[in-house]
A and B are shown apart, each in its own frame.
Chain A
């Protein structure tokens, strides 16, 4: 089943065109990796998908993005973001306790019942593979956590509002191999229930966890295929150069 349909998607920052006629589909319950050299528009595509791209001044777009058949640009931006979680490159702990970091979204959306809130905290932290490490210090400030823990907390925060889709922008680029392994493991588990799109600079990471891989260059999608096929037998010359390390 298709989760996301992107049709004729073009975006600009001022006069500079970042994404050029993107047409693509992303599958439900699977991990798609977006790879490509710096500045190719990976992050802008990701941010287009949860409507945070428009937080930058001078952002313009044309085209449509449907998530489960629904045009996300027809809603209020806040509603679209609520249903589409995005985790950034830098691990961010909000200046709140660990528990309140998870409840940041649910409280805003009016969840007041104590037992519901407790359940959300335990459930999301468990899904983010952080529960065992923090269950005894839920009221401690979240900034005391390590980088890897903060990144898992960011994932838990995104999960707490029940997203239909999870986006991650190089979530492991500042983490050690151990934390990276934990996060990859949890993404594979989460992908059993929802589609995940991950931008990564680490081709090995794409290979380890992604069902499909998208290769982008200069604002365009050059090739998109099953990860195995992309790595072993790319059809495009530019893809071949990138995967062999000739460009990057």
Chain B
């Protein structure tokens, strides 16, 4: 084959594949929107988001996902609150303090953690954590958004650790050397120089972790408690959006209002994750980030 023809052929193939991938995203959004269209015609988006009554099958039909949305936010932000300090400490340790042999042992271990199926995390959470709360606090059911947050925190931890560690290690060594040359301690340099320089990568890893936490289904479904009540606190039981879809889609009659409402829920979930990602990106780009 002529080399030129080969080049052109390769270019076209790459372009088609790239285009198909972006098309897929648009197709998903379009499909979700089309399937849920009757819902948006029936209720105002704000009422859909803020309403706390969910009765999609029997009249009077009520389509409000406020309780589930709140549950999702509790669970996901809660997971981040628990995971971020632990993950950052872990990333700093790996990048700055761990002896080489230990880091080489821990890094693959973290990668393995990301590979554990979420149903296993859910199972462990239900068998160990939920039981622990029941025995320790003498409650009839240990399921709660808090318990789900803890399990989710461990699920997203490796993502934050691995990405933050790369960001910390990417800081050019001159910064560390110059800062240490003044005679200050290593922790001082780490907190005042290295971590701020790695902020961009760290925030990126947090955005990724939020997406994972908000979308995670199996583990939260097994631990969060699954009640359609508005969660007053982190320690209430609740049913996050992802769990709602997973629990109800099997029994929903195709093209019924119930079915369409679940697609609307899916669309909301995508939008929540997207909005959080955009916010974090905004934070990254509008901070005075040092160039190096």
Which residue of A79, A88, A108, A161 contacts B178 across the interface (Cβ within 8 Å)? A88
Do residues A92 and B175 form an inter-chain contact, with CB atoms below 8 A? yes
**What residues of B have a CB within 8 angstroms of the CB of A79 in the complex?**
183
- List B residues 25-82 near A (Cβ within 8 Å): none
- List B residues 249-292 near A (Cβ within 8 Å): 288, 290-292
Which residue of A83, A94, A108, A141 contacts B185 across the interface (Cβ within 8 Å)? A108
Nearest CB in chain B: distance from A234 CB, A: 32
**What residues of B have a CB within 8 angstroms of the CB of A50 in the complex?**
181
Which residue of B181, B288, B290 contacts A86 across the interface (Cβ within 8 Å)? B181
A50 to B172, CA, bound (A): 21
State which size class the interface on B falls in.
20 to 34
**What residues of B have a CB within 8 angstroms of the CB of A157 in the complex?**
178, 182
Do residues B290 and A143 form an inter-chain contact, with CB atoms below 8 A? yes
Which residue of A78, A92, A143 contacts B183 across the interface (Cβ within 8 Å)? A78
Do residues B197 and A81 form an inter-chain contact, with CB atoms below 8 A? no
Which chain A residue has the least Cβ–Cβ distance from B175? A92
**What residues of A have a CB within 8 angstroms of the CB of B183 in the complex?**
78-83, 105, 108, 161
A219 on the B face (CB < 8 A): no
Do residues A55 and B182 form an inter-chain contact, with CB atoms below 8 A? no
Do residues B180 and A154 form an inter-chain contact, with CB atoms below 8 A? no
Nearest CB in chain A: distance from B179 CB, A: 6
Which residue of A85, A95, A96 contacts B182 across the interface (Cβ within 8 Å)? A85
Do residues A104 and B174 form an inter-chain contact, with CB atoms below 8 A? no
Do residues A104 and B184 form an inter-chain contact, with CB atoms below 8 A? yes
Which residue of B177, B188, B291 contacts A108 across the interface (Cβ within 8 Å)? B188
B196 on the A face (CB < 8 A): yes
**What residues of B have a CB within 8 angstroms of the CB of A80 in the complex?**
183
A158 on the B face (CB < 8 A): yes
A10 to B291, CA, bound (A): 38
**What residues of B have a CB within 8 angstroms of the CB of A85 in the complex?**
181-182
Do residues B184 and A105 form an inter-chain contact, with CB atoms below 8 A? yes
- List B residues 183-215 near A (Cβ within 8 Å): 183-185, 188, 192-193, 196-197
A157 to B179, CA, bound (A): 9
A93 on the B face (CB < 8 A): yes
- List A residues 101-126 near B (Cβ within 8 Å): 104-105, 108
A110 to B29, CA, bound (A): 56
Nearest CB in chain B: distance from A154 CB, A: 6
Do residues A55 and B180 form an inter-chain contact, with CB atoms below 8 A? yes
Known A82-B182, A104-B182; contact A55-B192, beta-carbon cutoff 8 A: no
Known A96-B192, A104-B179, A104-B192; contact A141-B290, beta-carbon cutoff 8 A: yes
Do residues A88 and B174 form an inter-chain contact, with CB atoms below 8 A? yes
A52 on the B face (CB < 8 A): yes
**What residues of A have a CB within 8 angstroms of the CB of B178 in the complex?**
87-88, 92, 94, 154, 157
- List A residues 185-221 near B (Cβ within 8 Å): none
A180 on the B face (CB < 8 A): no
Interface string of A31-47 (1 = CB under 8 A from B): 00000000000000000
A154 to B94, CA, bound (A): 29
A88 to B174, CA, bound (A): 8
- List B residues 147-184 near A (Cβ within 8 Å): 172, 174-175, 177-184
A90 on the B face (CB < 8 A): yes
A154 to B288, CA, bound (A): 20
Nearest CB in chain A: distance from B74 CB, A: 34
**What residues of A have a CB within 8 angstroms of the CB of B292 in the complex?**
143
Do residues A143 and B181 form an inter-chain contact, with CB atoms below 8 A? no
A83 to B182, CA, bound (A): 8
**What residues of B have a CB within 8 angstroms of the CB of A95 in the complex?**
193, 196-197, 290
**What residues of B have a CB within 8 angstroms of the CB of A94 in the complex?**
175, 178-179, 192-193
Do residues B181 and A81 form an inter-chain contact, with CB atoms below 8 A? yes
Can you list 22 contacts pairing A with B, beta carbon distance less than 8 Å?
A78-B184, A79-B183, A81-B180, A81-B181, A83-B183, A87-B178, A90-B174, A92-B174, A92-B175, A95-B196, A96-B192, A104-B179, A108-B182, A108-B183, A141-B288, A143-B291, A157-B178, A157-B182, A158-B181, A158-B182, A160-B182, A161-B183
* A interface, CB within 8 angstroms of B: 50, 52, 55, 78-83, 85-88, 90, 92-96, 104-105, 108, 141, 143, 154, 157-158, 160-161
